[in-house]
Structure 1
Amino acid sequence: MHRLVSSVFNDNHFLELLGRFERVLARVLAVALGLVIVVATVRLLVHMAQAVYPTDANLVGDGLIHLLGELLTLLIAVEVLQNITAYLRHHIIQLELVLATALTALARKVIVLKPDIEDPAPLIVALGAAIVFLSAGYWMVRKAHGQTTKARGPNDHH
């Protein structure tokens, strides 16, 4: 019995089990998120169709902002799925993808920000600072990545 317990908690064996658990969990989360994205996409398309159908639909102002918010939320979910997929492929968390997802989430927040907030200054300053710092982090990660590998443009086919 002691030998079994000892082998399970052996560093290499334990790390291997933990790695398997992480990969299984990431797969389960990817499938669950995939289902959520499909359902959310269908709901968004139905909502958009309902918003466009009447000729007096409010597609300017608050109506458009609401639809953009839903669309950007769905885009964020797709980016999170890409993060999980990248983890499953490479077994690392790709910081560039995480930062891009965070920037998309902040952009969504700025776009859907209600103009009738009582004291918007602190929120706007905080969102601005978060955008600046995340952008700087994204730039640094891209720059560091560019130093280790040559970045390819859209017309490079190597």
Structure 2
Amino acid sequence: MKKLLRKVAEVTKDENFMHVIEHIEVIVSKVLSILMVVVILVAIGDLVIFIIQELFTTPYARFNTTLFKIFGLFLNVLIALEILENITAYLRKHVFQVELVIVTSLIAIARKIIILDLEKVTGIDIIGLGIAILALSISYLIIRFSNSRHFH
């Protein structure tokens, strides 16, 4: 029993414990990276299939509405790429890059606005999206400004 207690005390020492936690974080980040690559490849496959189907089946007059769906699918791939960039940046530096997270969020909101069906959305939804864009934009400017001051 004493050996077990000593072993537990050893593992829970700050340095050893943090080393184990960092190791687990790296493993989780690598698994997430691999899964995100799979998601990106599937999203690209969906995009290719959708474009091919729409080009050959959609009448010319309806292609504009299809275009918004295509833009949404393109932005899905971009968002997935940004998330992959967030994960790989974390693997490189072991720090979350808030600027990347904000850019990813801005892309996600832009996607939402592009695919927005104005007939089904209320005014409060549009106001909420506007406030989210404003808040993220201000956050982005603050971070860019503070980063530029640190490097000069």
Q: Tell me whether the two structures share a fold, i.e. TM-score over 0.5.
A: yes
What is the rounded CA distance, in whole Å, between the counterparts of 2:17 and 2:137 in structure 1?
A: 38
More helix by share: 2
Deviates more, 1:86-95 or 1:67-76: 67-76
Alpha carbons 2:109, 2:133 under 8 Å: kept: yes
Instruction: Write the deviation string for residues 101-127 of structure 1: whole angstroms up to 9, x where unpaired.
Output: 000001111111111126x21001110
Q: In the alignment, which residue of structure 1 is the partner of 2:131? A: 129
Structure 2 residues without counterparts, runs of 5 or longer? none
TM-score between the two structures when normalised by the length of structure 2: 0.92
Q: Does 1:117 align with 2:134?
A: no
Identity %: 35
Gaps of 5+ in 1: 151-158
- The RMSD of aligned alpha carbons is 1.3
Output the amino acid matched with 2:25.
E
SS at 1:59 equivalent: helix
For the pair 1:68 / 2:62, whether they are aligned, the reply is: no
Bigger shift: 14-23 or 46-55? 46-55
* One-letter amino acid of the counterpart of residue 131, structure 2: A
- TM superposition shift of 1:46: 1.6
Question: For the residues of structure 2 that align with 1:32 and 1:53, how far apart are their CA atoms?
Answer: 32
Q: What does residue 88 of structure 2 align with?
A: 85
The letter of the residue matching 1:59 is F
1:40 and 2:55 are equivalent in the alignment: no
* TM-score where L is the length of structure 1: 0.89
Number of matched pairs? 148
CA distance in 2, matches of 1:31, 1:90: 18
Distance (Å, rounded) in 2 between the aligned partners of 1:94 and 1:50: 38
